[in-house]
Every structure is written in structure tokens, then in C-alpha cells.
Amino acid sequence: MRDKETAAGFKSEILSRLAVYIVLTAWLMLGLYVLIINEYVGVSPELVKHFISTEQSGIRFRALILLAPFILTIIGYLVNERAKFMGKTLIAERELRMLFNDLILALANAIDAKSKWTNGHSERVAGYALSIAD
């Protein structure tokens, strides 16, 4: 069971880091594109004309380059939210298991408390079962 929790925690951590890398990559792409275009076109008004001109080839590519950082930012946010949700789920599952174990122990103690002859019987049987299972 520990291996499953450890693997899920590791996956959650990777998803959190992946979200940051996605966002950084998107903004780096936009920055590089603007830098390259500014290098070739020159002044800023020409840069604006370059983006809104219908005569230029590759309008869809430019739109993709401009929208990619925003789209990847949203994807990064969603990945990060999933990682947070996975972490919260792991914590809730661990608490639920602890509560379940405490409930079983309380029921066993209530059964054993009925008689001085059966006192501790349930715990001994559980110990034997665990020994046999190992």
C-alpha cells in the first residue's frame, strides 16, 4: 500500500513541475518569436503590420505562436490543479484508512469488553492472522 501512495505522490509532484515547465516554455516561445520578428522587421509599427497583414504568408502560424503561451498557460494551470487534487486525495485516503482501522479496533474492544474471559481475544486473533500472513 505504501508503494501505491509513494508512486501517486511522486506522480503528483511531477505534474506540478510539468505545469511550470509548460508555462515557461510557452512564454519563451513567444519571446523568441517576437525577438526574431523584431530582428527581421525592425521597428515596432512594422511588427504590428506584420502580424495584421493578410498578405503575409503563415497567418495561421503567427496566430498559433501568439496564442500558444495563453493556451499552454491554461493547460499548465489545469495540470497543476490536477496535481493538487491528487495530493488532497492521497491525504483523504490515508485519513479514511486510519479512521477505518480505529473503528474496527473500537468494535473489537467493545466485543471483548463484554466478558473478562474474552478480554483481548480479538487482538490476539488479529496478531495470529498477521503472523500467518507473513
For 78-124, what is each residue's pLDDT tens digit? 888 888 888 888 899 999 999 999 998 888 888 888 777 777 788 88
pLDDT at 103: 93
Mean pLDDT of 52-79: 71
**What CA–CA distance (Å, rounded) separates 6 from 130?**
23
Contacts of 125 (CB under 8 A, 6+ apart): none
pLDDT at 52: 60
pLDDT at 58: 57
Residue 102's domain comprises: 2-133
Mean pLDDT of 68-85: 81
**Domain count of the fold of the chain:** 1
Note the pLDDT tens digit of each residue in 8-42: 666 767 777 777 777 778 778 777 777 776 666 55
From the number of C-beta atoms within 10 Å of its C-beta (0-12, 13-18, 19+), residue 68 rates as middle
Mean pLDDT of 44-51: 59
pLDDT at 99: 96
71 pLDDT above the threshold of 70: yes
pTM flag (> 0.85): no
What are the C-alpha distances in Å from 107 to residues 29, 76, 99, 114, 120? 61, 47, 12, 11, 12
pLDDT at 70: 78
| DSSP 8-state symbol, 119 | T
